[in-house]
Amino acid sequence: MSDYKTYGCDVRLPALQLQFSYYYETGVAPHCGCSDYGHLRGVPGLRHGTALRLERDARPGSDSQSTRLCREARRSRREARGIKGFDPAESRDFGRGFAFSWLLRSAFAICIYLNGRYNGPRAPFTFGPISLPTTELNSRHLAALQQATQMLLSARQQETVLETLMLVLRSHTEMQRSAVYLVDTTLHQLSCQAEHQWPQNRSRKIPLHDADPIATAARMSMQQTTSGNEAATLYLPLLIRDRALGTMVVEKNGAQGFANEDLVLLSLLAAQVAVLLENRQLHDAEFARKRQVELLHLIVRSAATAPNPGEFCSLLADLLGDAFENANVAILLCPPDKHLRIAAHAGSDEPQTERFLQARQLGPLGQAIRQKRFVMAEDATATNPSFCYGSSGSEICIPLVSGATVLGAVVIARRGTHAFRKDELTLAQVAAEVAANTVRSLHLSEELNRSTSSDPLTGASNQRHFHAMVEQEFSRARRYQKPFGLITLDLRSFREVNTALGVQGADQILKQVSASLRARLRSHDTLSRYEGDQFAIVLPEVNGDGAAIVLTKLGAALATIETGSSRRLSAAWAAVTFPEDGNSEAELVNTLFRRLDAARRPSRNTSSQATAAE
């Protein structure tokens, strides 16, 4: 054996330990051009006829004395006859060794890849001891393994991998029944994810600590076998780095049990499926993290572009509805000194205000707002059933807290119990933190705009806001070829009212005037206190006839206000419309106040009808 060198690679699988031993003669150069030599990374001069030895608990380079003596005798005979190169007798079966060549190349490349991916310089997998006799796969099992490998590697989703496994077990093995149970770490149980003719009396959900062989195989990371007079059952754990992903269960009729070749083939399939499931989980986790980053980016962009809290809440509800599949989402706002209200929602179920108010008092929503922290209710049958949605099985309630102030809450609900993953909980919390800061900023922005554009006494907009609305309405009217009107009024003899009632009494009269005029206007009309006792109104999409009708209504509303004396409150009125009275903003405003000045003259009739006729 001094003329030979050995390259070995151990791969520990659930069923057996495969030792790939590559022997080559050092006297022949690796790059001599002989077709009997291949080249793999790290293994120069690999022969196509390399023997695959499947030995239990074998070490790289070990061999029995009888094997060494036989090999030495064969080599001596070949040297005496002057024969060099590949020796078919070194393989137990030349044809089988040749058929193995492509499988060895693929297996060895996979071993090197997984070894570096999972454990660096160590072996890629370590599993619990499973006793299987030393055996070799026949050509039928090899063909089944090749086809199964190709089919499994082509699957892209977890469901597709499991369905393909069921198809392989039906088509290439003699198993009559099969199932795959996967571990749910959140619920600490195994759930049946794929099955073929699995008996109905077998449980589809098994606690991980249960004594059932399915749970025992996953918990102990060891193969379990049971046999009876009618059927034999094999329980193979799906293992990755000492961690069980689940259990593959197969049954065959008869009491003779499983052949050695079947055990090897099923163990290899279980190992392949475990690796593929692990890859899918890693891919899904990476995809989920990517979606979380994208969602947070969209929330931040929405916060920067949303004009008010209501618009932002609508965008937030849509984004969370897309991120949480098959879920109902509600965004609640709680302004200071006001009741909780539903600002926006997304999902198939329409939110009911009564249920939310009940949950605010008794349910997890109220607990989250009172304690100012995240609350998750995972079971609707618990002692407190006051969920926000009647169809909910699980709900997440996250308060929107900025500083020490609760601005609202985010509610996410699903129908099933224990329906949220850990990464989804993290995403909901981060989204709620961003939303709370955004809502607070928008509230402050609204307060600032209100303080700079509204009159503090009457609550109507101020002169600055009036001119901004005129400019905005003028641009819109020119773009869409729509009319609009402007009305202004100046209270007559209000100085006398101020003298008679005092400053506070006069302020109350101004508040009454503002409230009375606003009550006669539409919601999208703009009432402004222009200065002192003078008011101005912007009327979108109103022509001359419409402005005259509004003047009549406003004059009647003004006449109902009591001033505490025998005199009724009256005003001088003026009105203009676009495009009849001007083609620019400045021209309209100048015309409006010229007409108001004319209406103030004592010689003119001060009634609203006369002013409108002018």
CATH topology assigned to domain 454-613: Alpha-Beta Plaits (3.30.70)
Q: Among the residues of 81-138, which ranges form H helices? A: 94-118
Residue spans of the domains in the chain: they are 4-118, 139-284, 306-451, 454-613
Average pLDDT, stretch 188-207? 89
CB 548 within 8 A of CB 613: no
Average pLDDT, stretch 573-585? 91
- 3-state SS of 402-456? ECCEEEEEEEEEECCCCCCCHHHHHHHHHHHHHHHHHHHHHHHHHHHHHHHHECC
| % of the chain exceeding 90 in pLDDT | 21
CB 539 within 8 A of CB 518: no
Average pLDDT, stretch 51-79? 50
Average pLDDT, stretch 75-96? 55
Residue 358, pLDDT > 60, answer yes
What φ, ψ does residue 192 adopt, rounded to 5°? -75, 120
pLDDT at 582: 87
| % of the chain exceeding 70 in pLDDT | 73
- Res. 304 pLDDT band, cuts 50 70 90: confident
b/e sequence 541-578, b meaning 16+ C-beta within 10 Å: ebbeebbbebbeebbebbeeeebeeeeebbbbbbbbbb
Looking at the DSSP bridge assignments, the partners of residue 375 are 397
CB 75 within 8 A of CB 1: no
Q: What is the dihedral of CA 94, 97, 101, 103, to 10 degrees?
A: 150
Nearest-Å Rg of the Cα atoms of the chain is: 42
pLDDT at 175: 84
pLDDT at 166: 87
pLDDT at 543: 92
Each residue's pLDDT tens digit, 491-520: 988 888 888 888 888 899 999 999 999 999
pLDDT at 61: 43
pLDDT at 565: 65
Cα 557 to Cα 520: distance, rounded to the nearest angstrom: 8
pLDDT at 597: 92
Amino acid at 528: S
CB 173 within 8 A of CB 250: yes
> What's the chain's average pLDDT?
75
- Res. 181 pLDDT band, cuts 50 70 90: very high
pLDDT at 337: 58
Each residue's pLDDT tens digit, 385-408: 578 888 888 899 999 998 888 899
Which string of DSSP letters, residue by residue, matches 448-511? Answer: HHHHHHB-TTT-SB-HHHHHHHHHHHHHHHHHHT--EEEEEEEETTHHHHHHHHHHHHHHHHHH
Q: At what angle do helices 422-453 and 260-305 cross, to 10 degrees?
A: 10
3-state secondary structure of 322: helix
Each residue's pLDDT tens digit, 239-250: 888 788 899 999
CB 612 within 8 A of CB 551: yes
Same fold? 139-284, 306-451: yes
> Half-sphere exposure (CA, 13 Å, Cβ side) for 610?
12
Residue 447, pLDDT > 70, answer yes
- Res. 330 pLDDT band, cuts 50 70 90: very high
List the single range of 81-85, 174-178, 460-464 with lowest mean pLDDT.
81-85
pLDDT at 148: 76
Peptide bond into 579 cis (omega under 30): yes
CB 573 within 8 A of CB 551: yes
- Res. 57 pLDDT band, cuts 50 70 90: very low
pLDDT at 331: 93
Cα 246 to Cα 225: distance, rounded to the nearest angstrom: 16
Each residue's pLDDT tens digit, 590-600: 999 999 999 98
CATH topology assigned to domain 306-451: Beta-Lactamase (3.30.450)
pLDDT at 226: 84
pLDDT at 73: 63
- Res. 117 pLDDT band, cuts 50 70 90: very low
Non-local (6+) Cβ contacts of 134 within 8 A are 16, 54, 55, 56
**Superfamily, domain 139-284:** GAF domain (3.30.450.40)
Each residue's pLDDT tens digit, 519-536: 999 989 999 999 989 999
Each residue's pLDDT tens digit, 262-275: 888 888 888 888 88
At 471, list the tokens: 């400019």
Average pLDDT, stretch 370-378? 87
Average pLDDT, stretch 324-331? 90
Non-local (6+) Cβ contacts of 417 within 8 A are 378, 379, 380, 381, 393, 394
- In total, the chain counts a number of residues equal to 614
Work out the number of other CB atoms within 10 angstroms of the CB of residue 79.
Answer: 11
Q: Which residue would you say has higher pLDDT here, 587 or 290?
A: 587
Cα 323 to Cα 315: distance, rounded to the nearest angstrom: 12
Q: Which residue would you say has higher pLDDT here, 607 or 309?
A: 309
Average pLDDT, stretch 29-37? 34
